[in-house]
Amino acid sequence: MKAAVMAGPGVVQVQDVPEPDIKPNQIKVKIAYCGICGSELHAFQPEFQTGIATFRIPRGATARPPSGPRIMGHEASGTIVEVGPETRAGYKVGQRVAMDFRCYCGSCYYCRNKMQHFCERVTPASGAYAEYATYNEDAIYVLPDDVSLEEGALLEPASVAVHTIDIAALKPGGTLAILGGGPIGMLILEVARRAGASKILLSEPVEGRRALAEKLGATWTVDPTKEDLEKETEKLTDGRGWDTVIDASGKIAVAKQAVKLADNCGTIVWAAMYPGGAELPVIPSYMYARELTIKSVFVSPYCFTRALNMLPTLDLKPLISIKPIEKIREGIDELLKGQGMKVLIKPA
């Protein structure tokens, strides 16, 4: 089968590789589409080359991040082509599905304490920039009839947006600033609207992305390279700041600025990956005087079912463009330049 293999930092190659075999408790999926994730772009950015995967590995964990050449891709949809004999959920060949890229053990300390995203025995899927991939059955979600396979490929990033809004504890009628108008920023915008945010500002330097944000429900958009975001915040909030500020840009300077944009008792959420080892100074007396809260986002525990329920209500088509697997590097380069939004790779 054809697959896009990450041969090294910044090197992706389309190769012929063997189809993955399923274990008795697994399901094999013919991949229809797999989205290029912003986290994968970091392999092509020099500032992320050191400490690129500084994910926390729990003490005593048996699983480790894979090393060496590997098939990438985790935002995927497709059709079931084979069901292992020991599966129990009743999945059938021919069902249209979307998938989580992580399978959790369910029995470790973290899984039993509502923190499955820190599972000590997490099992990764086989990689979805490929014609076929395998998953444990707990990672499979059947798509409703009114969700296309293209839209279904956005289930995983939509689940991250749902988790972000959970963490933000956004209240109906609250105000929100989103810093960064990439795919995650846009999905956060859409989910926040449906969660009851009354006024939303989105800060993004790319004009086309600001225009799209306005169509998707942003109350205001700002170009932070030409406008003073702190002054705009003062003007738009009568000098108070935002109830919630979410950074989806992945830039350290922006994550720092987010703290200055929050109102008293506000919540700041860092919903992005940042260069490994980068430090961000925070002034404790400033935090104390305003009673601020800073939170962060790591994947999306317990959010896939709710994200699946939301997919038919989200406006996803404007986010999507499609490229064949042979042009995956072209799609990566476009996203690195701030072009496009959610590029889906079609393996066959």
Residues marked active site are found at 39, 42
The Cα–Cα gap between 103 and 139 comes to 6
The Cα–Cα gap between 79 and 206 comes to 35
Question: Which run of H or E residues covers position 284?
Answer: helix 284-290
Q: 20 near 131, Cβ under 8 Å?
A: no
The Cα–Cα gap between 287 and 264 comes to 9
DSSP class per residue in 196-210: T-SEEEEE-S-HHHH
Nearest to 148 by CA among 344, 347, 348: 344
Nearest to 259 by CA among 272, 278, 244, 248: 244
Token pair recorded at residue 199: 């006024």
The Cα–Cα gap between 313 and 310 comes to 5
Residue 275 makes CB contacts below 8 A (sequence gap 6+) with 47, 48, 50, 51, 252
Nearest to 164 by CA among 252, 271, 247, 257: 271
